[in-house]
Structure 1
Amino acid sequence: MTDTSRRVFLGAFGALTVSAAVAPGSAAASPVRVAPRTPATPATSPATSPIPAVAPAVASTTGPRSSMTFTGTPYDTAAFARASLGELSATVLPGTPVRTEVLYGRQRVAVLTKGARTVLVSGPERTFTENKQPFTDAFVRLVPDPALEPGRRLKPGWGNSPAGGTWSVYGGTPGDADFAVRKGAATMLLKDTEAGRYATLTDDGISDVDVTCEAAFDKVPVGNACSFALLFGYRGGGAHCRARLSFTTKGEVDLRVEKVSDGRTVVLAEAGPLATGVRAGDAWRIRVRRQGAKAQITAWPAAGAEPARPTAEVEDVGAGSRSGRVGVRGFASPGCTNLPVTLTVSRFEVVSGTWETPPSVTHRDWVRLLEVPFDGEWTPAVEATVRGWAGSMAPDVLSYAAMFLPGAPRVRGADPRVAGADVLGEAGYGKPDSQGLLPVGADFHDYMEQPWTFPDATKRPEEGQRGKLDCSGYVRMVYGFHMGVGMVAGKDPAKEALPRKSGAMVDFAPGVRVAQRAEGGGSAPDLRQLQPGDLLLFDVNDREGDPVDPDAYAVDHVAVYLGPDQAGKRRFLSSRKSADGPTMADISGASTLESPGIYADSLHTIHRV
C-alpha cells in the first residue's frame, strides 16, 4: 500500500474511532469508539507527534453491538513514545517456540518469536466487547433428514437460525417428524397431551429483549384447547416465562402471561378473548418487550396491524428469570381429541436484545507484523522497528479483526488495490444454498466482490458473497489483505503464504507451530505459550474419514486468539455459521478454550504467523 493510500485508509479508520455509541439494532451502530480524556504529555522530540488523546469508554450493556474502546484508566502513553524510550534490554525466554522479550526497565515493550512475523507489542489499554445482535429467522431452509443422509451425523430439529444460533428441541421422538423445517416454515407436531414441545435458541444469556413470533395451528381444537407460547428467560421446562395464546374449541383466543418456577406455574396477567371465529390456519403474532423486571406483551392476528397499546403489562417477571433463552412452546391441553395438531411457525424475530454479561476482553497487547520472520537476533534494525511501534495507535491485527464484528460500519474506497470496494464492515458468513444452509465459500475477495490473482491461480468473486467471510476468509482478510501476509488459492508447500482452507493452514501456514494435540486424539494442546493474534485450528466436526467427503480435512475451523475475558477465560474471534459471521461471543458454543465446550474440546493446533 502506498504512503498516500495508507494515510487515506488510516484517516477513514481514525474517523470511526470517534463514532458515537448508539443502541443495539441501530444501523448507525459503530464497533469502535473513543471519547476524550486528559491529553497525554506530548513527546519532547519535534520529530515525534503527540500520542492522540483518548477518553474513557462508557460502560453499558445497551451500547453498540460490538466495540473496541480505549479505557480511561491512568496510562502514561508518553512512556511508550519512541523519543521517550531509553535503553532496551532483550532476553530469550524459556520454552518452545523460542521467544525474545524486550523490556524498558521492568516494563515489557514487546515479545518476538523466532520464525514468526507477529510481534506482541505493549500499547494503550483496549477493551473488546460484543452484545446481542438482532436477527430474523424466516425458516427459508430445508433441514436435512438424518434418515436420508446416514453418512452425516445430523440431528432432527429446526437447524441453525441465521445469527441467532442453533435451535434446540425437546419433546417428541427423535427422528420422527415432530420437528421439521420446510422452506418458509418450522413445524412442531403435537401428538399427545403430555409436557408439550419446546424449541429454544441455545443462547442462555439474553436479558432485555424485544422478540416476536408468528405461528398458526392447522386445526381448531376439539375437546379442549391448544396453545403456543413465546418463551423468554428460559432456563428449562420448569423455569421460564412465557406469553401463551390459547386457541379454544369455540374459535376464541385468550392470552396468559405466566411464570414457571420449580415446575409451578403462576399467572402474571391475562386477557381475552382477543378474537372470536378464529379458523384453522389463521396466524397470530406474539411480541414480548422485556426491560429488567418489566415486560409488555402484545398479541394480534398476523393479517392485521400491531395494536398501538400492549395487550398486557407485567411489573415483575421475577429476578430468577433475569436471563435465559428465547423460543417457542406448543401444547395440547388434556382432553383435546383431534390430535395430532401441527403448529407452524413462520417467523421468529429478535428486534433487539442484550446479554446480561456481554463478553469483554481488556489488555494492552497489540499484534503487529515484521516485514520478514524474526530470526532470533535482536539487531539495531529490529530495534528500530519496535521503537517505531511504541505508542502507536495505528490499526493492528486485533483492530482489523474487530472491524468485522456485528454492527461494524462499512469503509470503502480506502485502498487503491480494490478501488470503490468495501474493505471493512460487519460481515456475514456466506450465501445460503438451495436448502437455506450456509456452506463454506466466502473468501476475502468475495467479501469485496473483487477478482484476485494469487501466485497459483486467479479467482473471481462468487456471486452473492459480497460482505461475507467464512472462517478462513476472515483470517485471510485480516492477516492477508490488511496486514500483508502472502496468500495462495490452494496451499503453499514453501509455507510462505496463507492457504485458502483452515485444514491446510495446519501444515502450510507461514510461521511457527506453538502447540498441537498429540497424535491419535491424545492430550490437548499446551496453552502456556498462547498469545493474542495466534491462529487456533479446530476439528469441530471430526470429519476425518467422512464417508460423504473422504478428502475432508480433520481440521475444519480457524480462529484468532483475542485474550482472557472478564471471567479469565481464553476468548477468540472467528467467523461461524451459527453466528452468521465473525463473533467473539458464545453463540451455539462458547468462544473460549476452557473445557468443557465444543471448541475447547476440539482444539487441534495453535499457530503463530
Structure 2
Amino acid sequence: VAILIGVIALSAFGVVSFAGGIGIRTHGDTVVSAAPVKPTQAPAAGALRFERLANPARTVARDDAGAVAATMTDGARTVVITGPPRRLREPKFTAAWIDTSSWVRLAPRPWHAGDENADWFTKWFAEARGDQSPDVFAVAMQYADGAPPAKDANGVRFQGDAAFGPVAAAGAGRLEQSDFDDYLGIGWSFPDGPKRRANPAHYGATDCSGFVRLVYGYRLGYSLLGGSSPGPGLPRRAYAIAKSGPGVQLIADTHTRATDYDLLQPGDLVFFEVEGSTDQLDHVGIYLGVDNEGHHRFMSSRERANGPTFGDLGGASVLDDGGFYSKAWRTARRI
C-alpha cells in the first residue's frame, strides 16, 4: 500500500447541547454551551500518513500512533474526522445513547485518490480539524423533539423541533410531502425546475427525505434537486437518493434485508422499504454509529414520533435487532 506523508495542524472541536435533555454532550453528561465553544488544549501537531483501503475505495489518514484521524471515500464529500468524544441522547424516546468521536463534515468537492496532495484539500482539512461549527450530527439534533428554535437575520426559523407533517384531514395519521423548504416556510429555486412555493400547512415539518435534504442540503451546502430524476444534487424522494444520488452506493439493493454493518460509517444514508406494498425504497435515515447496547442506530423523520428521532417509538431505530426497521433495511449510500 502506498503511503504519503503530510503535516496537518491538529485542533479541538466545538460541541453543542440542546434543551429538554436532548442533544450532544461530552462524556460524563457535562452539558456545554449551545454556541461554539473555545477550543480546549489542542493535541500537538504531527505528521499524518495517508493509506488506501478498499470496499469502498477510500483514503484513511492516521496519526503517529496509527489511530485513524480521518476517512475520505472516493466519490463522496462526507469526511469523518476523529475529534473529542460526544454523547448523543434522546431520553424521551429511547434509553439508549451513542458515544462517538466521529465528526462528520462536508468537503467542498468529492474525494479522489491522491487528493491529500491537492491544494484545496490541505487548506480545507486544516480548517476542518479545528472547526467549531455544528457538524452533521449536531445539525441533525437541532430538529429533534424539544430542540430550541433559532432564526437567521431574515427572520427565517432555520432550526428547532420539527414535525413530520400536518395531521391528515380524516384524522388518521400525518401527511407526508414536507420538504426542507416547507419546514423553513420559504420558496426555493431548483436547478432542475421552476421555483417551488412552500406549503403553509406543512410549515415546521419535514418528512424523511426532507430531513436529509434539510441537514445535508440547506444547512451544510449540498446542491438540491426539485424532483427525483438524476442530476447534480440530492433528489427529492428516498428511492431516488438511493438510486441516483451523489456519492457511492455501499450496498446493492437486492430487495432483501441488508446486514453489511461493517461497511457503514457515521453520516452514511440508510434506506428502507417500510410500507410493504411495493419493492420501492420509501424511507431514509442518517447512520449515527453503534449505541451503548451494541446496536447500529440511525436517525430519521417519521410519523409515529412526529419528526426526526433516533428513538424507538414506532420501531427501534436500529439496523440489527430483527425488529421493524432492521428487517426493512435494504441499502446505504455515502454522499
Please give the TM-score of this superposition, normalised by the length of structure 1.
Answer: 0.49
Partner of 1:87: 47
Give the deviation of 1:424 after TM superposition: 0.5
In structure 2, what is the equivalent of residue 532 of structure 1? 266
Check if 1:400 corresponds to 2:139: yes
- Picking from 111, 126, 142, the partner of 2:86 is 126
Cα distance between partner residues in 1 of 2:47 and 2:122: 10
Amino acid at match of 1:432: V
Task: Kindly indicate whether residue 306 of structure 2 is the aligned counterpart of residue 594 of structure 1.
Answer: no
Once the two structures are TM-superposed, the CA of residue 493 in structure 1 deviates from its matched residue by 2.0
Deviation at 1:54, TM superposition (A): 7.8
Alignment of 1:118-517 (within 5 A): 118-132=78-92, 358-377=95-114, 378-381=116-119, 382-414=121-153, 419-436=154-171, 437-455=173-191, 456-494=193-231, 496-517=232-253
Q: Contact conserved, 2:12 with 2:42, CA < 8 A, in 1? A: no
Q: CA RMSD in A?
A: 2.4
| Alpha-carbon separation, structure 2, partners of 1:571 and 1:128 | 11
Calculate percent identity across the aligned residue pairs. 34
Change (3 A) 1:379 1:474: same
Structure 2 Cα separation of the partners of residues 49 and 370 of structure 1 = 17
Kept in 2, the 8 Å contact 1:361–1:563? The answer is yes
Structure 2 distance, partners of 1:536, 1:501, is: 13
2:22 corresponds, among 46, 66, 78, to: 66
- Following superposition, the deviation at residue 579 of structure 1 comes to 0.5
What are structure 1's unaligned runs of at least 5 residues? 1-47, 58-62, 134-354, 545-552
Q: How far off is 1:364 after superposition?
A: 0.5
Deviations 1:274-303 (A, max 9, x none): xxxxxxxxxxxxxxxxxxxxxxxxxxxxxx
Which residue of structure 2 aligns with residue 576 of structure 1? 302
Q: Give the drift of 1:391.
A: 3.6
Deviation >6 Å, runs of 4+: 52-55
Q: Offset at 1:479?
A: 0.3
Cα distance, 1:393 vs. partner? 2.7
Residue aligned with 2:203, SS: coil
1:99-114 to 2 correspondence within 5 Å?
99-105=58-64, 106-114=66-74
1:54 and 1:469, CA in 2 relative to 1: closer, same or farther beyond 3 A?
Answer: closer
Structure 2 length as normaliser, TM-score?
A: 0.87
CA contact (8 A) 1:110 1:386 kept: no
Determine the C-alpha separation between the residues in 1 that align with 2:294 and 2:10. 36
- Counterparts of 1:114 and 1:527, CA distance in 2: 19
Amino acid paired to 1:379: N
Residues 49, 601 of structure 1: alpha-carbon distance in 2 compared, 3 angstrom cutoff = closer
Q: From the superposition, tell whether residues 560 and 462 of structure 1 become closer, same or farther in structure 2 (CA, over 3 Å).
A: same
In structure 2, runs of 5+ residues without a counterpart are: 1-8, 30-38
Greater radius of gyration (CA): 1
Mapped to 2, the partners of 1:464 and 1:595 lie a distance apart of: 36
Higher strand content, 1 or 2: 1
- In the other structure, the counterpart of 1:559 is 285
Q: Give the C-alpha shift of residue 583 in structure 1.
A: 0.5
The structural deviation recorded for 1:85 is: 2.3
One-letter code aligned to 1:603: W
Higher helix share: 2
Q: Between Structure 1 and Structure 2, how many residues are aligned?
A: 312
Deviation at 1:561, TM superposition (A): 0.4
